[in-house]
Structure 1
Amino acid sequence: MPVEFIGLIATRPGSEASQFTASPVVDREFTRRFAVAHEEAGFDRVLIGYSSGSVDNLQVAAYAAAHTERLGYLVAHRPGVVFPTVAARYFSTLDHFSAGRVAIHIITGGSDAEQRRDGDYLDKDERYDRTDEYLEVVRRTWTATEPFSHHGRYYQLDDHVSGVLPVQQPHLPIYFGGSSEAAYRVGGKHADVFALWGEPLAETAQQIAAVNAAAAAAGRTTPPRISVSFRPILGATEEEAWERAHRILASTRENVGRAAEYFKEFRGFTGTAGAPQNVGSQRLLAAAASGELHDRALWTPLAAAIGGGGNSTALVGTPETVAAALLDYVDIGVTTLLIRGYDPYDDAIDYGRHLLPLVREEVARRDRGEAARRDDIAPVPAALAAAPSRTAGG
């Protein structure tokens, strides 16, 4: 199965490791170039994040889609901010304008403080229960051709039918993020792709098993595909890659106050003070506490430097080393790789030149080998098996 690559775009330059420029919050030209760079690099999709203080990511996706032809858009969405039938129409409309290039990434929310900035006072367990119901209504809005009613715990509606169904049938792809038991339960039920942050291989395999078990418990015969997120740091040699990694770590530590303010505004990151409430960040910090380097190339100090704030673990090495590390995750069942750099624009270009081709070529080689093995052991067709044998004297 071909691997899917997802990048990330934003509306202005910057990352945890950089000094932030004086660019406007919405830099239209940069946003356009950033999207085009990912398309030219060969990414399948780009994620556009969400927080209580961020720009409207649906409009960002619409703008970027108008300036690209092939690139898909994975738009982060927080249930509870708008009514589910309204959200379904928003996404269906964008699916039409983008010619079927939109997917939705459900983020239920792991921080009570961040949720309250948008007026959401439910606790975490209730938020996941609401997400479950929310997705039921959204999916039904995308697929119903006759009016339907819904009377649940969180949402009530009568005789709704949408005038705009998605281009993609039966519905837009649903990605789902989280690392708690509640996330496994709800995402295992609804997700087409379940998204995890970059942990060591053993811990990732454990999470995949938990997602699969939750999907089976929900009655699914096919579990969600799995996405894992990393921040690759490449170098022409191993030494160059590690020198660059340590420079990024030093600058991140120097800029952590500035980065915290950026992420507080644009990604819901609230800095490193205190233990994070969400399980995903707790898991990243636990991985960092257990060692700096895991498996082939997974490096955790950057996750610790920003308090486990989001996708922050690095894969360090030459393109060949990092490609092999990504393939290690493919080997345990990962189908989607979400990668972004600490120098986001230039790294996206470098990934397209040096990293994506290596991974895709190896996955294609393996797929060809698997197809050949299946052909070698394919059963004899019934018609041939029934045909009379011919011998030299027959």
Structure 2
Amino acid sequence: MSHSFPRFGIWALVHGSRAALQDPAEPYDASWARNKALVLEAERLGFDSVLVAQHTVNPHDPTLDQLEAWTASAALAALTSRIEIIAAIKPFLYHPVVLAKMAQQIEHISGGRFAINLVNAWNRPELERAGIAFPEHDDRYAYGREWITVVDALLRGQNVSHHGERFHIDDYRLLPADPFRARPRIYVGGESEPARELVAAHGDVWFINGQPLDDVAGLIGDVSARTRPDGHAPLRFGLSAFVIARETHAQAEAHLDRLFTLAERDKPLRERQKANIDPNVEMFKTFARSPRVGSNGGTAAGLVGDYDTVARRIAEFHRAGIELFMLQFQPFEHDMRRFAQEIVPRVRRELAA
């Protein structure tokens, strides 16, 4: 597995706070102004990537704000100079030809720093209330696989003629082609069997939800052993994690306890959200295994403790094959700065030892 230095990224605050929505230390704010400032500061601090999740309505509370992923990503591409911009996409919301052209344009705006995060949706009302069908789990992945097949070829500048079950495209080509690389990077989320098959066939990086090291190592081993198409580089791996790093372990645990207490105030929202979730989504089965705060596994990855402990655990995940850590914090800006100052240098020393 890789022993070079890992990359670190942040989750954009597209629907506000990640652990508890009613936190006096972090008022709920999913605005463009906050996210712009957040990403610009992350770039200055040395973070490598930002993930902009896609929702058309707030998945927690439809009365709250929700940043739009693709317009925001285009703007961030123009405002930044180094950080990778990863925009999530739910295939049912965009025809593959339209989305490929949008991705190609943001790739040009960014100078070769754009990426797609393919997700296959779990929030049923977001689609159904728009009059868009919400198929069963495996059917969504079949749709996503055909969709990304078209998008991948278009992003490579190929002339595409595709006649599948869902899409019929005749001699279509998008210009100008990518002058920076073969195509933008493709990240894939999801841990079900169809998701694993999809990422092995079309992904460059597999996003794994936060969970213990042994579980992550097992997932990496399974997908690494799968056949890749000819000419594709070996698959790389990313991990979502919520970080609580403090000078002492007791301080970190106290902050975790505080967030658990605050998160209890969101219980009515979580109950309403639960009714909207496809119960077959593997992510939510994983979340049920242990208490946690944060989204996409959150603190289940175990990055809670004193500075040295958190740095050591990150190094262990990296040695197991995690190349990119996509991180959450609360309070976000404050703890993001703390991570850059205290944890990143320790990780470098740990991996250099």
Cα pair 1:110 1:278 within 8 Å, conserved: yes
Q: CA deviation at 1:271?
A: 4.1
Q: Does 1:256 align with 2:260?
A: no
Q: CA deviation at 1:316?
A: 1.0
Q: How many Å separate the matches in 2 of 1:33 and 1:190?
A: 33
Instruction: With the length of structure 2 as denominator, give the TM-score of the two structures.
Output: 0.87
Q: Does 1:237 align with 2:237?
A: no
Instruction: Give 3-state SS (helix, strand or coil) of 1:302's partner.
Output: coil
Aligned to 2:110: 98
Q: Does 1:6 align with 2:9?
A: yes
Q: CA deviation at 1:43?
A: 0.8
Q: How many Å separate the matches in 2 of 1:205 and 1:229?
A: 14
Pairs within 5 Å for 1:174-185: 174-185=186-197
Aligned to 2:284: 281
Structure 2 counterpart of 1:41, from 27, 42, 45? 45
Aligned to 2:144: 131
Instruction: Give 3-state SS (helix, strand or coil) of 1:80's partner.
Output: helix
Pairs within 5 Å for 1:352-391: 352-363=340-351, 365=352
Aligned to 1:122: 135
Q: How many Å separate the matches in 2 of 1:343 and 1:140?
A: 41
Q: CA deviation at 1:192?
A: 0.5
Instruction: Give 3-state SS (helix, strand or coil) of 2:303's partner.
Output: strand
Instruction: Give 3-state SS (helix, strand or coil) of 1:277's partner.
Output: coil
Aligned to 1:204: 216
Q: Does 1:302 align with 2:293?
A: yes
Q: How many Å separate the matches in 2 of 1:166 and 1:234?
A: 40
Gaps of at least 5 residues in structure 2 are 58-65
Q: CA deviation at 1:310?
A: 2.5
| Percentage of pairs with the same residue | 23
Judged with a 3 Å threshold, the aligned counterparts in structure 2 of structure 1 residues 34 and 217 are, in CA distance, closer, same or farther, namely closer
Superimposed CA distance per residue, residues 182-231 of structure 1 (whole angstroms, 9 cap, x where no aligned partner): 100111111100010111122112211221233x2766775310111110
Q: CA deviation at 1:86?
A: 1.0
Pairs within 5 Å for 1:215-230: 216=227, 222-230=233-241
Cα pair 1:229 1:337 within 8 Å, conserved: yes
Pairs within 5 Å for 1:164-179: 164-179=176-191
Q: CA deviation at 1:6?
A: 1.3
Instruction: With the length of structure 1 as denominator, give the TM-score of the two structures.
Output: 0.78
Instruction: Give 3-state SS (helix, strand or coil) of 1:154's partner.
Output: coil
Q: CA deviation at 1:66?
A: 2.9
Q: CA deviation at 1:11?
A: 5.1
Q: CA deviation at 1:237?
A: 0.9
Aligned to 1:381: none
Gaps of at least 5 residues in structure 1 are 265-269, 289-299, 304-308, 367-394
Aligned to 1:375: none
Bigger Rg, structure 1 or 2: 1
